A and B are shown apart, each in its own frame.
Chain A
Amino acid sequence: MHNLPLPVTNPALFQDIWSWFCQLPHNSTIGLEFVAGERGRATMLVPYHTKLVGNPKTGVLHGGVVTSLIDATSALSVFSFLESAEAIATLDLRIDYLRSATPGSPVFCTAECYRLGRQIAFTRATAYQDGNDQPIAYGVGTFMRDSSKATLGSETVAEAGDANR
């Protein structure tokens, strides 16, 4: 993995994918937002909301919210490398919960695609909060590339991607 940041491979595709991600029913339900992207990396966030709480006594977000955030951000980090639209599907995801998220503040996730194979993409992700250097969770995932004929993203960019094949 490079250390010096480069722009995402296809900015139009990348933007199309993150804006498509954020409007998907479940992502918009949890309030997923795009923060930043570069080649091999992506950052997204979920704002704090009481409807996302898993333990009413502590007000801490449910682990499922962190899972959704890590899944989406990891997938987006794969797209930061891609030239053209395709469908990818999560094969597996392992999440280590290091500490509880502090109630009231958003959770960020930065994911890195550290190996893009022809068939499989490998990702690792960190979930964290502003004002605390200790991450709340780590996530490692694998994604199947070209998992279906229908490419992800809005129709326009997806079609351009198909034409490029």
Chain B
Amino acid sequence: MRTAESLLIQTLHAAKDSGDYTGIIEQIPYAQLLGVQMQEENDNLLFLLPFHERNVGNTKLPALHGGVIGGFLENAALLHLMWARESNEVPRTVDFSLDYLRSGKPQTLYAQCEITKQGKRVANVLMTAWQDDRSKPTAVARAHFLLS
């Protein structure tokens, strides 16, 4: 049976071949709500979050919602893992630790991930989010994912 989950994986594998990742985000309602985009760049995945008013968490600064930055990074790590592993399952987040370094300005937020360790059952992933300058991250995060 072709389940929604395998559809997500299939779409990801198809995107990997074609280089067009728009179909993936359409499979994940929350990622679509945030407005996440992704593309391949130098054999790595780059995640983009163009600015949308609905992602604002502080109208005075204004700044992106901390939960948006967290959700964007967690989503990036999940997709990065599925992309790198060619697995047939969606990993489950065990824990997620997020350091907010700068406020998220009302402009595009970028993210890239790095798999620090991948075991049989658990993977550790580092995430970095930035805006103007990659060496000045908006937030960094690390997470553990259950793979099976």
Contact = CB atoms under 8 A, between A and B. Distances in A.
A118 interface: no
Contacts of B70: 63-64, 67-68, 71, 93, 95
Interface residues of A, number: 40
Contact of B55 (A26, A53, A94, A96): A26
A94 B143 CA distance: 9
Contact of A62 (B7, B8, B61, B71): B71
Interface in B45-75: 53-61, 64-68, 70-72, 74-75
A119 B88 CA distance: 46
Main secondary structure, interface of A, reads mixed
Given A63-B74, A89-B103, A97-B94, A69 B67 contact: yes
A26 B5 contact: no
B96 A95 contact: yes
A24 B96 contact: no
Contact of B97 (A56, A58, A94): A94
Interface of A: 24-27, 29-30, 50-58, 61-65, 67-72, 87, 89-97, 100, 148, 150, 152
